[in-house]
Amino acid sequence: MMNDFKMHLKEYVDFFEDNLPQFLPKAEPHQEVLSESVTYCITDGGKRIRPVLVLEFCRLFCGDYKKAMPFAAAIEMIHSYSLAHDDLPCMDDDDMRRGKPSCHKKYGEANALLAGDALLTLAFDTIASKTDFSDISPLQAIRAAGVLAEKAGVYGMIGGQVIDLQSEGKKADVEILKLMDSKKTSALIAAACQMGCIVGGADEADIALAGEYAEKIGLAFQIVDDILDVKGDAKLLGKPVGSDSENDKSTYVSLLGLEQSQRLVDDLTNEAIEILNRFEGSEFLRELTLFLAKRDY
């Protein structure tokens, strides 16, 4: 039997999955492959953590999560584009993603590049053209778009990717790892939390707090990833384990050991929950934070 948290999570994920298709492109003559590759990248994919965070933070501040759907779709489009580009031969050259061929394996490199570009562009198109302005003001929408662009851009996710590239083949230290993951992972999670806040009408102090919370769980998320790469189950993960050590990549586990890495996850999780205690009605986020720290996939 599912507990309340699991039911609540399922409600969000189901709502997201049910509504996502209306935001995806239709097939157009002579370019059918594009709508197909875009849909491929964002369908059947992953845990939908970022959209869930958008929806729940919106609900937290205004009681209604449904109006945040365009923003939930937008963040997942950004996340999906980043995976499609990250898997390309000139980047990580990964053949598999979530238990199925990566986009470039399925559609070829050029189409995977363009599918990523299309998803990135579609994220902003979605916010601009699918927001219900009777419910969300244009200023809220443009501010949310700005947060998304900032956190996904040069000072956020893409910056993290570049740091990752630059440190290839070098021995990174924990400080560089943290800087990289703060940009590569936490930034987009912060965009999710903060977009939810903005659309839900939160004040500046709460928007900032949500960003701090995201910083903690983003880092914890990345460390758990590293731990799972060592002791996870390839079947549950949908990807091979041991690839970090095979690629001689510096990770929290390789630098700190399993035990200390796990302690860091626990500390970050506790700090995240302390931040949540300042939000009334944040029981679901508390459970989600624990769920992410204890996940085995």
Least separation in angstroms between residue 45's CB and a copy of itself is: 19
User: Residues 126, 74: contact at Cβ < 8 Å?
Assistant: yes
Q: Which of 5, 19, 88, 291 is close enough to bind a copy of itself by CB under 8 A?
A: 88
Q: Which of 13, 149, 241, 256 is close enough to bind a copy of itself by CB under 8 A?
A: 149
34 binds a copy of itself (CB under 8 A): yes
139 binds a copy of itself (CB under 8 A): yes
30 binds a copy of itself (CB under 8 A): yes
Interface of this chain with a copy of itself, residues 173 to 192, rule: CB under 8 A:
176, 179-180
153 binds a copy of itself (CB under 8 A): yes
Q: Which is nearer to a copy of itself, 120 or 210 (CB)?
A: 120
Q: Which of 83, 122, 189, 209 is close enough to bind a copy of itself by CB under 8 A?
A: 122
Least separation in angstroms between residue 33's CB and a copy of itself is: 6
Q: Which of 13, 33, 230, 255 is close enough to bind a copy of itself by CB under 8 A?
A: 33
42 binds a copy of itself (CB under 8 A): no
13 binds a copy of itself (CB under 8 A): no
Binding site for a copy of itself (CB under 8 A): 25, 28-31, 33-35, 38, 81, 85, 88-91, 108-111, 113-114, 116-118, 120-122, 124-125, 127-129, 131, 133, 137-139, 141-143, 145-146, 148-150, 152-155, 158-159, 161-163, 165-167, 176, 179-180
